[in-house]
Structure 1
Amino acid sequence: MKHLWDVPFLLLILLYLLAAVTSQVNPGVCRYPLGMSGGQIQDEDISASSQWSESTAARYGRLDFEEGDGAWCPEITVEPDSLKEFLQIDLRSLHFITLVGTQGRHAGGIGNEFSQMYKIKYSRDGSRWISWRNRQGKQVIEGNRNAYDIVLKDLEPPIIARYVRFMPVTDHSMNVCMRVELYGCEWLDGLVSYNAPAGEQMSLPAPPAYLNDSVYDGAVIHSMTEGLGQLTDGVCGLDDFTHSHVYNVWPGYDYVGWTNESLPSGFVEIMFEFDRIRNFTTMKVHCNNMYSRHVKAFRQVVCYFRSEADWEATPLSFSPVEDEKNPSARFITVNLANHMASAIKCQFFFADAWMLFSEITFQSDTAMYNTTLAPPKTALPPNIQPEDDPTHKVDDSNTRILIGCLVAIIFILVVIIVIILWRQVWQKMLEKASRRMLDDELTASLSIQSETFAYNHNQSSTISEQESNSTYERIFPLGPDYQEPSRIICKLPEFAQSSEEPASTSTAASKSTATTAVQDGAPHYAEADIVNLQGVTGSNTYAIPALTMDLLSGKDVAVEEFPRKLLTFKEKLGEGQFGEVHLCEAEGMQEFMNKEFLFDIPEDQPVLVAVKMLRSDASKNARNDFLKEIKIMSRLKDPNIIRLLAVCIYSDPLCMITEYMENGDLNQFLSRHEPEGQLALLSNAPTVSFNNLCYMAAQIASGMKYLSSLNFVHRDLATRNCLVGKNFTIKIADFGMSRNLYSGDYYRIQGRAVLPIRWMSWESILLGKFTTASDVWAFGVTLWEILNFCKEQPYSQLTDEQVIENTGEFFRDQKRQIYLPQPVLCPDSLYKIMLSCWRRNTKERPSFQEIHRALLELQP
């Protein structure tokens, strides 16, 4: 109810958007699927250069569809540098396209063909085809790495087209198949090209501003002809034209500009061509007005209109109010007085030495009718043709009828949106209430389910039937903390039918009381009571023996209170169910530290830190867990484990301040680097040597050796949870799950459990056992990531369901399980360490002490 006061304001915004929707396109909002996956695009509008068979015809190239043979496939193998094969889509009208999506031929899991790269060509009239290039001039778009994942790519710049062609590109001879989708919205302006003088260069102190139309898709010699570009890309320039919305481009990029010195006529003439005769109401021109650099909006515009072959003799003239007080860029709206035309020629007169435009948009009645009603072929009454009406007047009665219809439709839309908003308010209130109940009751609920499954074998088959339908799905944004998958065991028939298999451990206190037929030799502390603390970011911090937790609970926190005012926010690293993680600078942190902890930063300089912050509305259990986490973190003192530096617990929100390394996490660090070699020299990319890779891996093993000595189980060891400092220093952290960047590494079961299944051992996935032995398994996967420079996700060729099925092969141990392949840079000795980490029997896996010693021996 408290949100209802927002409704009038929202309605005003809605009415404004409805009024403005035909005058300016917004690339950030214009991202709707145009009908390949939804079926709005008809089969007859999808064509191709060739097809392998009738079952791989063009009409089967729809994203996320598996009809026919699962995709469009060309007749022959695609060769390098060959652009003969294409899949073409006819949208029937001009559209503003901002995003494309591609898939390979999945065909129920048996298809393996996909396009690793592709190019796009487009056309507005079906005769002149244009090759799309990004803002840096690159044509090739990175495509798919497997046959089933959907890969979305933003088109920067967006394109305005009716026809679009996807053209597979390969670096070697191969079979390709594609499923595609286009995203955008209808191009309501109807503009098909503009002709103008080429933009010029402005001399600045340093560097110069290049005011050319860098994305113009027509011919550019002395002038620009038969194309569209930056004046129609939906991006408005900033007040200071020397800066840009686009990263890493030159000054003046957002604007097209001219100087009166090169145009003796005193004006810039731009001609606009449209798809049909339209009834124009306004033209909006986004101008720069940075008069300190002799840039001003135009002082006058004179527009001529052409509806048939000849231009009208009487032009329209408009003079905006000159502004020498406000240097902000602005839209100037020119009233076009309902002129009928298929082309408009406007002369913009200089008010100073320079004139800079970034966007020009048009509003016409024809465009507006196209969004609401089924329009007539022209905006004139049906009994009057354009040649019969030389004055191009519109009948007033018809206009009033159309306006009345529009008002009625807008009113209906407003009512619908009010109903939707009302329902959303109540849904959010109910979800918030239910989430609070779940926070308090989740642990007890899962514990009861687990114990019931363990003790009551008579009901095990019933539970299996109810829970066997649980499936994984990729999550975004991140949900709450992952839990032990007490239900995944029912995915495999062997577990669902056997009464001799062990039950999953519960989330809060796991007691292994059932008799197990699989003697996997788990360490003793895995069989005792385990305390799992709910991390603030959504990750379970560590699994800790209850005995150890009891010893810790009797001690005071060995860290000091830190003044909040000395923390400066830099950026948000991530968030979870109960809190957030912020990157901050802390002033004077050296004064609050123990002498045993040394910073290599002068005392007068701020220290980079990560701040875990508990939300003020967190439950009582979450607050207690947060304080327990502080106690645990304060006891961890190892050079390869992130240290707790200070806390803010005297007032809300509760905060813990930990180290942060200047090079970020290991996953992103390695993905930006290349292995030493000739390829890296040619690309001028930063490199990391093999010895340094081994050095970083040894540090991770050392940190895990320390945790295992305390009987602590990390449960989420991966490169995303390792931070990199100077000289390849590594420290293990625990807040990778909270970052949207890594949402694809976690999967959810039954709406609650979130699991990093590609790093988890088979017994963790199937039995819910998290031990040092399962951490060793995750270390093997982490080592595999490091040797691949984090360029690929583990088991990238498998779906999440196939990963789970593969764990069943480890359990059955019939030599059909799939191991991660040996990386190219990985010697046999290092790959043997990985394979030893993935042994089925936990007793046979090496300890972290043995792994650490083996990695040290590999270093010179």
Structure 2
Amino acid sequence: MEVKPITHHLFFVLLTATVRTQVNPEMCRYPLGMTGGQIQDEDISASSQWSESTAAKFGRLDFDNGDGDGAWCPDIMSEPDGLKEYLQVDLRSLHFITLVGTQGRHADGMGNEFAQRYRIKYSRNGSNWVGWHDRKGRQIIEGNRNAYDVVLKDLEPPIIARYVRFMPVTDHSMIVCMRVELYGCEWLDGLMSYSIPDGHLMIYRGLDVYFNDSVYDGTTAERLTKGLGQLTDGTWGLDDFLHSHIYGMWPGYDYVGWNNKSFPKGYVEMIFEFDHVRNFTSMKVHCNNMFSRGVRMFRQATCYFRSGSDWETEPVTFRPTVDRVSQIARFVAVPLGDRTASTIKCRFHFSDLWLLFSEVAFQSGKNNSAWVSFLSVPWDDPTHKVDDSNTRILIGCLVAIIAILLAIIVIILWRQVWQKMLEKASRRMLDDELTARLAVQTQAFSFHHSSLSSEGGSTSNSTYERIFPLCADYQEPSRLIRKLPEFAQSTEHLGRKEKTQSGGSEGAPHYAEADIISLQESSDSGTDSITPVNINLFAGTDSSMKEFPRHKLTFKEKLGEGQFGEVHLCEAEGMQDFLLEDLSIEGNKESPLLVAVKTLREDANKNARNDFLKEIRIMSRLRDPNIVRLLAVCVDTDPLCMITEYMENGDLNQFLNTTYRANNIASTYYIKLIGMAVQIASGMKYLSSLNFVHRDLATRNCLVGKNYTIKIADFGMSRNLYRGDYYRIQGRAVLPIRWMSWESILLGKFTMASDVWAFGVTLWEILTLCKEQPYSQLSDEQVIENTGEFFRDQGKQVYLPKPPYCPDRIYHDLMLSCWRRNAKQRPSFQEIHTLLMDISNI
């Protein structure tokens, strides 16, 4: 008797008993096993087959094992309605499916059959089948145009299913063949269906706001039954329910909602049915709380539990603190007290006129009572009866296996405890190692540092709820950075070079604070380091930069503080008369001029002083209407100061966030946003023409003047306001990782192509009005994991989504091209500027 399936399942139970579930469609995009072979041949079936060589088992995307004719083909002509022939995949458990891929049959040039269009049907139990349709009701999915290319299609909305059928559709009778793959992740909630009252209509200031569950896949009447829909689609509603994450949908689309007047008892009742008996720890409900429009989160939740035919008499009651101050939508966690059930009935009590939900998720583990059924029969055949003479032997073997597994777990946990203790002892050494590796690209483009104060603390070791499923080749972000072969080669090469330049000694990592640009000289690697030297500030082209009298600077406001200096807003008396003609700026000559003054602390080390002087030397050469200008310096005595323009409207991030509203982005305002992007592209085109690399391009580093004039600067690093935009590496180096290209994060490589990547993110910020941080749904560690996916280039990387109202031409032709893995394939700033100019002139 084989016990391997039982032990495998037991180990799986031990690993998943405490899994925390929260599906994110943007993360849940992993191949489920048609290509890789994890899905077995016996789990792939079909309505028919053309021949033995085109059986269902050959319908695997991009897979050729040498047998068969390379695809599944039905034995008769496909019918135009696409409702008869199908290829079926059994995933063995519920999965959250977000993406499908199809391919035709070419059989090394001997075949040319493919499905131009197809439908999808799915089932969670194998008996009730549902036809998939998109959010606008369309069922037909556009397929292949040739037999070779793989065509990937997002399922919007995603589906939750165990069984999936691909059903080819043709315009006329023809032979079709298909190879397929499913992408997603396991549905750990175990939720099979929910039953809720149908959503209501709100009339708000003459506007119809529909709160119906428009993608529900069960029976719809006055009450929705035996299905799943928007409460499990992974899309959370916005703070303002009149707007939606999904472009072009009606007001209220993201939410399912009810009016208090229709419920005399004062509550909405929902019933949730699961795949088996589970121990429930909590339920998370995403609620809207815009009380200015009569919407509040629920006042009380009362949940009843059922494992058999009758409901338990003692419910769990939870009363959250109703927020009467903030109108931000949020998840409310309802503790369920480890209650055991296969069905849960919850009553949510109104605390205002309306109750709006956009997502419900459960955290649970399998019920221990299910182990009884395990010990009596093998897992792969639940109908098999065990011979009485072998029952005792089987139970004894299983108990021994369980004991061994528990012992292994205890040993692993004990080793982890000791490992953490050892890590604490060697933490300082690891910090220095990682910081040195990240900073080794040094003098030309050293990494930014920040002055996170003690109350902020280090975030490098913070825990987070993992969205990426762990796979065999997973490595923690910090180890991923250190172990990539390209990174090791890069650091080894530059390490030898730095050692030679420093006379053989390994000095501390070279410091460079938030420079606006770094000089990039031509070399094989594309980035050459420059040895710090004592700079004659007024030599050559720098002779025009004058020493401004310190006593004429009047402190007005501290803009921010870095690790080695501060940035102040000051009034400069007589600056207009002081400036040369080519540096003159608009303003009343009789009034003091507002300027930004960047200072270097008196106790800064030699490397910091050299970098500061080098930055002055470089900035003094820049003359472009879209680059902030260096006006004067104070370097005769400490502290060293550089005086630059200050734009009266502040930085672009805060300007967009406070000036515009999301519903105003269309029409006239959209043209202004593109005009801002044109100016940034123009400034970057100028920098790239001089082979300068910015390294921190973002809206926080662009200043806004009169008439929407935009100038690129570098002050965002110093502002406490943007502390969250920078990720602290082992408590020391800080990086703007959400704007950085994958090669900059993993290889420490900064080029004009990495600036192009950052421009794509900056453009995304502009078109979203800076209402959220890039990759706001990801933790810093997950952002680094995602850059690892760009490096591996296996189709698992996550891109920033298309902003609302953003034309396809800008998103697909410009933004996505800025984020190409191959840096050489990204557009130049000349090309970006030309494209944006063409769009702005339309």
> Taking structure 2 as the reference length, what is the TM-score of the superposition?
0.50
> Taking structure 1 as the reference length, what is the TM-score of the superposition?
0.49
